[in-house]
């Protein structure tokens, strides 16, 4: 099972092809040389390669630190790194557990709070790999529409009032994948109130949180202050997916269960990796924000270019909203007679590939299929202009 999951992940994160039956038909026949608007991948230019090189060289010159970086360490993760994360999250460092990235955090959350065959409310459309993580415990889901201000809490409240019961609710609150929307502060509070009233956990998946370039932060204190939230995050979108490093903000009572699970699975996250990131983020208190700030300036420009080009080259073909952050644009086809599968085939033949909306549907409804997901983060402005030109040819 684990081998299959890892294979799916590698394949998807590289945006190559997918094993049969995995459910994503959009990646199967990508034309060689196609412009790929496929994955939530950070811009290569945004990754702090030189700083990492320097920190790495310094580490291997410091024999004691290097040796410590090659030994076992504790399951919770490195203390100073947890302290740095805890300060940003506004919680006690004891509640932070370092993970091997976001997917690992999601799997740990599922295995800790979702009993076999329990029902879990999920975003609809949903980040599909969460459904794969959920399969560790269950395939029973209660799809909850994602609307303009995020997960439709009122919809869930109505279902709970009508006596549906869930073990957990899963949502991506900031710059949702795929719909790019953000859960409003008011709905964050309402969701946590529901969780506290009905006794389920909210699995808050927040990998895009740092990537805000417009609009107002809706805050995470409401999650971090609740005994009913598991807040999952990762360095993937900021420092790069290859680190495989992330963290959980857990309620006090879930720290020991997660650590006991960890002791049965992988003991702890890579010590070398933690050593390097800890040195980078704690060595200069402004470093991380500088890196993320520069990346966000790139993403803001790229998002704007993509929206402007769609309006200029395909006027009226899509309804779009300029993203306020994150790595995705989720435009809706305005003409209901356009067949999205045929459009995709023509676009791929013209040399541009993206994700079809139906891949993200958590329920049989057809609405997601009217959308396209464009990932713009790792494409240059010229590539984005050319991608839209090729898409216009497909139309
Ligand atoms: C919503 C969401 N959650 C989790 C992840 C996984 O993060 P990681 O690469 O750190 O495992 C991603 C990555 O694309 C994502 O989009």
Nearest-CA residue for ligand 1 atom 13 is 40
Cβ–ligand 1 contact at 205 (below 6 Å): yes
Pocket test for ligand 1, best of 41, 127, 245, 362 (most atoms within 8 A of CB): 127
Are 206 and 145 in a shared domain?
yes
Q: 159-192: per-residue pLDDT in tens?
A: 999 999 999 999 999 999 999 999 999 999 999 9
Pocket test for ligand 1, best of 5, 9, 102, 239 (most atoms within 8 A of CB): 102
194-216 confidence digits (pLDDT tens): 999 999 999 999 999 999 999 99
CATH number, residue 179: 3.40.640.10
Together in a domain, 166 and 78: yes
Instruction: Report the alpha-carbon distance of residue 167 to residue 226 in Å, rounded.
Output: 16
Same domain, residue pair 340 and 266: no
Domain assignment present for 68? no
Residue 184 counted as domain residue: yes
- Claim to verify: residue 198 and residue 110 sit in the same structural domain: yes
pTM for this prediction: 0.93
Q: Is residue 160 part of a domain?
A: yes
Residue 123: the pLDDT is 98
Range of the domain at 130: 73-283
Whole-number pLDDT of residue 37: 97
In a domain, 54, yes or no: no
Q: What is the structure's pLDDT at 91?
A: 98
**206 and 327 housed in the same domain:** no
Whether residue 31 is predicted with pLDDT greater than 90 in this model: the reply is no
Asked whether 246 lines ligand 1 (CB < 6 A), one says yes
Summarised one tens digit per residue, pLDDT across range 264-286 is: 999 999 999 999 999 999 999 99
As a whole number, mean pLDDT of residues 294-317 equals: 98
- 101 and 200 housed in the same domain: yes
- Among 171, 234, 273, the mutation site with the greatest number of ligand 1 atoms within 8 A of its Cβ is 234
Are 213 and 308 in a shared domain?
Answer: no
**Nearest-atom index, ligand 1, CA of 105:** 11
Q: Which residue has the tokens 């740990």?
A: 108
Residues 209 and 187 grouped into a single domain: yes
Q: What is the pLDDT of residue 23?
A: 43
Alpha carbons within 13 angstroms on the beta-carbon side of residue 240 total 11
Query: With a 6 A CB cut-off, is 102 part of the ligand 1 pocket?
Result: yes
pLDDT at 248 > cutoff 80: yes
Is 257 in the same domain as 299? no
pLDDT band at 352 (very low <50, low <70, confident <90, very high): very high
Within 10 angstroms of residue 380's Cβ, the number of other Cβ atoms is: 16
In the three-class reduction of DSSP (H, G, I as helix; E, B as strand; rest coil), residue 328 is classed as strand
Domain tally, the chain: 2
The residue out of 226, 253, 283 marking a domain boundary is: 283
**Which of 254, 283, 312 is the last residue before a domain boundary?**
283
* 241 CB near ligand 1 (under 6 Å): yes
Residue 64 lies in a domain: no
End-of-domain residue from the set 226, 254, 283: 283
What is the rounded CA–CA span in Å between residue 2 and residue 8?
A: 10
One-character DSSP codes across 119-174: EEEEEES--HHHHHHHTTT--EEEEEEEETTEE-HHHHHHHHHTT---SEEEE--S
Question: pLDDT confidence of 22, banded at 50, 70, 90?
Answer: very low
pLDDT at 32: 79
Gyration radius of the chain's alpha carbons: 21
Cα 230 to ligand 1 centroid, rounded to whole Å? 15
Indicate whether 52 belongs to any domain: no
- Regarding whether 98 and 234 lie in a shared domain, the answer is yes
Closest C-alpha among 365, 362, 351, 361 to residue 393: 351
Identify whether 305 is part of a domain.
yes
Average pLDDT for the chain: 93
Provide mean pLDDT across the span 67-96. 97
Supply the angle between the helices 79-89 and 271-283 in degrees, to the nearest 10. Answer: 50
- Among protein residues, the one whose CA lies closest to atom 4 of ligand 1: 102
d(CA 140, CA 118): 6
For residue 365, the model assigns a pLDDT of: 79
């Amino acid at each position: 099972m684990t081998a299959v999951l890892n294979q799916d992940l590698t394949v998807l994160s590289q945006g190559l092809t997918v094993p049969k039956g995995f459910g994503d038909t959009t990646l199967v026949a990508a034309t060689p040389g196609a412009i790929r608007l496929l994955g939530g991948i950070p811009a290569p230019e945004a990754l702090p390669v030189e700083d990492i090189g320097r920190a790495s060289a310094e580490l291997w010159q410091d024999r004691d630190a290097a040796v410590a970086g090659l030994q076992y360490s504790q399951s919770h993760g490195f203390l100073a790194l947890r302290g740095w994360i805890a300060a940003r999250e506004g919680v006690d460092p004891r509640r932070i557990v370092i993970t091997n990235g976001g997917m690992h955090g999601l799997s740990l959350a599922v295995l800790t709070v979702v009993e076999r065959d329990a029902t879990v409310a999920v975003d609809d459309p949903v980040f599909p790999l969460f459904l794969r993580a959920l399969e560790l415990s269950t395939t029973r889901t209660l799809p909850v529409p994602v609307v303009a201000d995020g997960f439709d809490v009122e919809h869930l409240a109505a279902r709970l009032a009508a006596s549906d019961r869930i073990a957990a609710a899963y949502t991506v609150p900031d710059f949702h994948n795929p719909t790019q929307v953000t859960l409003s502060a008011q709905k964050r509070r309402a969701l946590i109130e529901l969780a506290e009233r009905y006794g389920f956990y909210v699995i808050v998946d927040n990998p895009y949180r740092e990537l805000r370039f417009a609009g107002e932060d809706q805050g995470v204190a409401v999650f971090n202050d609740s005994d009913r939230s598991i807040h999952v995050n990762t360095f993937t979108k900021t420092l790069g997916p290859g680190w495989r490093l992330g963290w959980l903000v857990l309620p006090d009572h879930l720290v020991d269960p997660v650590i006991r699970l960890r002791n049965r699975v992988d003991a702890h996250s890579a010590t070398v990796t933690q050593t390097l990131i800890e040195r980078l983020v704690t060595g200069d208190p402004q470093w991380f924000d500088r890196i993320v700030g520069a990346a966000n300036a790139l993403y803001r420009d790229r998002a704007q270019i993509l929206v402007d080009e769609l309006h200029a080259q395909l006027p009226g073909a899509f309804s779009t909203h300029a993203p306020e952050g994150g790595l995705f644009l989720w435009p809706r086809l305005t003409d209901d007679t356009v067949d999205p599968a045929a459009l995709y085939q023509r676009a791929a033949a013209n040399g541009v590939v993206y994700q079809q909306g139906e891949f993200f549907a958590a329920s049989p409804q057809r609405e997601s299929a009217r959308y396209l997901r464009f990932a713009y983060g790792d494409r240059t402005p010229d590539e984005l202009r050319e991608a839209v030109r090729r898409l216009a040819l497909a139309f």
